[in-house]
Amino acid sequence: MAQQPGESEETDSPATAVEGRFWPYVRGIIGFGAAVGIVSALLGYGVLGRFLVDRIVVATLVVFALLFLVRGILREGVGQLTRTQFFRSRLGVKTENLRKVRFWAGGTLDPVLVVIGSLVVLPF
């Protein structure tokens, strides 16, 4: 059925429920903090404006640093998993195919983490 303008599609998945409760509030707080920082700097409270904007930048860098650590752990985990005896002998996966798995896992991991980090930080 076609969706009419102004109507929202309702889903009952737990992921959507969590997304609907938590991240919009976080994005709103980040957006409000940025707006207050900019307005306070324009009104002559430069120290307050700079402090608020600096804190938002630091929080963003912390989120991306954590995602970078998660990226390294996941890449190393995929590498170690594909080197195990389980994949090589029990499943009978060839070495060439294991290299392809490592390549594609690494290639898809980076864009996924960039999207996750952007959705967490950017106030939409």
pTM summary value: 0.53
Domain, as residue range, for 104: 18-121
Residue 33 is assigned to a structural domain of this protein = yes
**Of 116, 115, 124, nearest to 27 (Cα)?**
124
Percentage of the residues of the chain whose pLDDT score is greater than 70:
77
Residue 3 is assigned to a structural domain of this protein = no
Whole-number pLDDT of residue 3: 53
Residue 8 is assigned to a structural domain of this protein = no
Residue 38 is assigned to a structural domain of this protein = yes
Residue 79 is assigned to a structural domain of this protein = yes
Domains: count for the chain: 1
What tens digit of pLDDT does each residue of 16-48 get? 444 556 667 767 777 888 888 888 888 888 888
Element (DSSP H or E) covering residue 81: helix 46-83
Residue 66 is assigned to a structural domain of this protein = yes
| Chain-centre distance for alpha carbon 124 | 14
Residue 84 is assigned to a structural domain of this protein = yes
Whole-number pLDDT of residue 16: 47
